[in-house]
Amino acid sequence: MPMVRIDVPGSGFTTGTVPAWAYEDKPAFEWLAVPGADSYEIAVHGEGLTWKETTSTTGLHTLSSLPKLKQDQEYAVSIVPMFKSRPLFKTKEAWLLTRQFQVMNRPSNSDIAAATDSLKKLALPPTVVTFLTGKLFAYFGLYDEAIVTLRGLRGQLNEPALGRELGEVYTAKGSYGDAEKELTDAMLLFRRTGDFVGQALAEEAIAAIQVKSQGGIPRAIAHLRAALRTYKTLGDAPDAERVQTSLKSLETLNTRQPRR
């Protein structure tokens, strides 16, 4: 099911595949537990709509009481971790994660077939066409089809970009173990080929998985620190600043004692 995936609230950590659209008029939302929270306030805002709900569980939620959303209209969803009916952290704005999304018409089989046929008509090598087809399936939310298509390139396309794309698709699907394996292999291949930007991006993606799968914020911090060192070595100030912001947020989340 295509969904709006919310990264860990309160972390400020937004690396990863987050669709900017949803096909369902009542899309599913997913987020993970925040240490110390006993509930979460979910809010959806749009033109003529302000809706809120509180839940004590995390994971994948289809909000049954949410009014039917309109096609082609933009909305925003936010998740606030709570403790005893109050925002968990002292500065609410610093720990609020909001994600914009748009409800779209689900593409028909003929739409998908037309898009894939257009790719086949391009004057590109077959392996590139197959790679782009896999990315297209992922864009449409057809994750299983994307994985089969991309994995079919094994042995034909020995590029780290293939592993990174597979890692992103597995992440979007929620298969975090498979995602981490693909991204780790891609990271090592980027390193061997001297593509240090690709290596840093893979480090960031692995860090995102560590947070999403609750594999450990300390491990995520270690990967982000490695990415930060690479960006600084390359003199890439904008990316270094971006990673530094995420790193500080995770370090704060790792050490902060929730307000009681």
Is the model more confident about 34 or about 259? 34
pLDDT of residue 245: 81
**Proportion of the chain above pLDDT 90, given as a percent:** 31
**Proportion of the chain above pLDDT 70, given as a percent:** 79
pLDDT of residue 21: 58
**Residue 91 above 80 pLDDT?**
no
258 Cβ neighbours under 8 A, 6+ residues apart: 35, 36, 37, 83, 88, 89
Q: Where are the domains of the chain?
A: 3-103, 109-255
**Residue 230 above 90 pLDDT?**
yes
Give the C-alpha separation, 177 to 196, whole Å.
24
**Residue 139 above 50 pLDDT?**
yes
Alpha helices in 121-212 (DSSP H): 126-139, 143-151, 160-173, 176-192, 196-212
The arithmetic mean of pLDDT across residues 8-34, rounded, is 53
**Residue 90 above 70 pLDDT?**
no
Band (152; pLDDT cuts 50, 70, 90): very high
pLDDT of residue 215: 53
CA distances from 172 to 17, 65, 77, 119, 146 (A): 6, 25, 18, 23, 11
The arithmetic mean of pLDDT across residues 58-70, rounded, is 76
pLDDT of residue 260: 44
Is the model more confident about 192 or about 106? 192
Under DSSP, is residue 252 helix (H, G, I), strand (E, B) or coil? helix
**Residue 256 above 80 pLDDT?**
no
**Residue 205 above 70 pLDDT?**
yes
Tell me, yes or no, if the two domains 3-103 and 109-255 fold the same way.
Answer: no
**Residue 14 above 70 pLDDT?**
no
Matching CATH number, 109-255, of 1.25.40.10, 3.40.1280.30, 1.10.3720.10, 2.102.10.10: 1.25.40.10
Is the model more confident about 89 or about 81? 81
Is the model more confident about 192 or about 256? 192
The arithmetic mean of pLDDT across residues 159-184, rounded, is 90
Matching CATH number, 3-103, of 3.40.50, 1.10.1760, 2.40.50, 2.60.40: 2.60.40
